[in-house]
Amino acid sequence: MGDVEMKKIGILTSGGDAPGMNAAVRSVVRSAIYHELEIIGVNRGYRGLIEGDLAKMDASSVGDIIHKGGTILKSSRSEEFKTIEGRKKAMKNIEDNGLDGLVVIGGDGSFQGARELSSMGIKTIGIPGTIDNDLAYTDYTIGFDTAVNTVLDSISKIRDTSTSHEKVTIIEVMGRKCGDIALHAGIAGGAESIIIPEKSWEINEMVNRLNQAQKRGKLHHIILLAEGAGSAVDMKQELAEKAGIDARVSVLGFIQRGGDPTSFDRILASKMGVYAVELLLDGHTNIVVGIKDNHLFHMGITESLEVKKTFDQEMYRLTEILSF
Ligand code: ADP
Ligand code: F6P
């Protein structure tokens, strides 16, 4: 395989953590060792790169982590790294540690950071890790499937009590720009209404929907609301003011970012980690890996960030047919 100059690589996790990041770290570390590369772990993402918080890893550094949520390398958001001075400090640590390549596991912000570093001379590759599934170039990001299953588990529990008490419950889930968590968990959990940032909605329509359901005798109703489409607390207030409906609110919050990764996320992470190391060995830089129609592929970071997310109209249509 290709580039003989690649001898030592670094790995970091950055931005919002996601279940399956550990499986990806394990995969990168083990495949680096398989290919006789030295592997250095950078703690706390770009912040650690600036502070020089780097340590050599070996096969046992990643033992017993495939099943764990979070990231053993820790993660951060670094404002300093967004400045040229910050990136120069990071680059000095990269050079002082003799790194030839760097694997960055994170979301679109982290990929922009990797692109900046590649323009300064280090070979970089991004692995998509974020629960939101908001990277349009890939069908799936690591962590999304686990987050959907976490939300699904909550919907099932909330459905029990909401049915017993014949209540309307608004469940707010994560997803600032992308409604994929709400859409997928909502369909799997049989939510009566799903509200996502990609589709405009009106409180009056929701009131009509609830009134019609009540006329048919269905008093319990689960509304799955993506945070990017509004706040559950505001919606509760509006429903009370406009229609005297006393809705309950459950904001699921950070439980969605933790927990044991599903088999899907572990396998995706394992595949992407091995692929990323092989691409670095082949001399690639400034690229990301992704999965499309169950096939791994790679593309330029800039190109990947320019891909516009196409809204899954067919998936949404399911909610219109099945949820009432
Ligand atoms: P995510 O990677 O999950 O999208 P962020 O958007 O918070 O999370 O990005 C993670 C980190 O990547 C930021 O804290 C910052 O250090 C770095 N980053 C984000 N955008 C840029 C940018 N335009 N240039 C350089 N670094 C960036
Ligand atoms: O990882 C993405 C995300 O989970 C968003 O959906 C959410 O709004 C955000 O991170 C919150 O994370 P933090 O408080 O770490 O910025």
Residue in 197, 204, 259, 256 with CA at minimum distance from that of residue 226: 197
Helix (H), strand (E) counts: the chain: 11, 11
Query: Is the C-beta atom of 130 inside 6 A of ligand 2?
Result: yes
Residue in 9, 12, 306, 272 with CA at minimum distance from that of residue 128: 272
Which ligand 2 atom sits closest to the C-alpha of 256? 4
Query: Is the C-beta atom of 132 inside 6 A of ligand 2?
Result: yes
Which ligand 1 atom sits closest to the C-alpha of 130? 3
Residue in 94, 221, 96, 200 with CA at minimum distance from that of residue 104: 94
Assess contact for 143 and 265: CB atoms under 8 A: yes
Query: Is the C-beta atom of 127 inside 6 A of ligand 2?
Result: no
The tens digit of pLDDT for each residue in 67-103 reads 999 999 999 999 999 999 999 999 999 999 999 999 9
The tens digit of pLDDT for each residue in 110-119 reads 999 999 999 9
User: Which ranges in 175-323 belong to alpha helices (H)?
Assistant: 180-188, 203-215, 232-243, 263-281, 301-306, 313-322
The tens digit of pLDDT for each residue in 220-247 reads 999 999 999 999 999 999 999 999 999 9
Assess contact for 43 and 11: CB atoms under 8 A: no
Choice among 3-12, 138-147, 186-195 with the minimum mean pLDDT: 3-12
Which ligand 2 atom sits closest to the C-alpha of 134? 2
Distance, CA of 19 to CA of 25 (rounded, Å): 11
Question: What is the percent of the chain where pLDDT is above 90?
Answer: 95
The tally of CA atoms less than 13 A away on the side-chain side of residue 135 is: 33
Ligand 1 midpoint to CA 311 (Å): 24
Work out the average pLDDT over 259-274. Answer: 98
Question: What is the percent of the chain where pLDDT is above 70?
Answer: 98
Confidence of residue 200 (pLDDT cuts 50, 70, 90): very high
Ligand 2 midpoint to CA 6 (Å): 34
Indicate the angle between helix axes 108-119 and 84-96, nearest 10 degrees: 70
pLDDT at 320: 86
Looking at the CA of 124, which ligand is closest?
1
Residue nearest to atom 23 of ligand 1 (CA): 112
pLDDT at 3: 45
Looking at the CA of 86, which ligand is closest?
1
pLDDT at 5: 80
Ligand 2 midpoint to CA 49 (Å): 22
Please name every residue paired with 168 in a beta bridge, in sequence order, or none if there are none: 221
Report the residue among 13, 50, 51, 81 best suited for mutation to probe ligand 1: largest number of ligand atoms under 8 A from its CB. 81
Query: Is the C-beta atom of 133 inside 6 A of ligand 2?
Result: no
Ligand 2 midpoint to CA 282 (Å): 34
Ligand 1 midpoint to CA 110 (Å): 4
Residue in 253, 302, 291 with CA at minimum distance from that of residue 154: 253
Find where tokens 């014949």 sit.
Answer: 166
pLDDT surpasses 60 at 1: no
Query: Is the C-beta atom of 257 inside 6 A of ligand 2?
Result: yes
pLDDT at 14: 98
Q: Name the catalytic one among 17, 108, 132, 145.
A: 132
Ligand 1 midpoint to CA 239 (Å): 37
Both tokens assigned to 245:
């409906």
| pLDDT, averaged across the chain | 96
Is the pTM for the entire model greater than 0.85? yes
Work out the average pLDDT over 256-267. Answer: 98
Assess contact for 301 and 288: CB atoms under 8 A: yes
pLDDT at 197: 96
Confidence of residue 2 (pLDDT cuts 50, 70, 90): very low
Work out the average pLDDT over 45-59. Answer: 98
User: Where does ligand 1 bind, in terms of residues with CB under 6 Å?
Assistant: 14-16, 46, 77-78, 81-82, 106-110, 112-113, 116, 130
Is 17 one of the annotated active-site residues of the chain?
no
pLDDT at 115: 98
Work out the average pLDDT over 23-42. Answer: 98
Which ligand 2 atom sits closest to the C-alpha of 174? 6
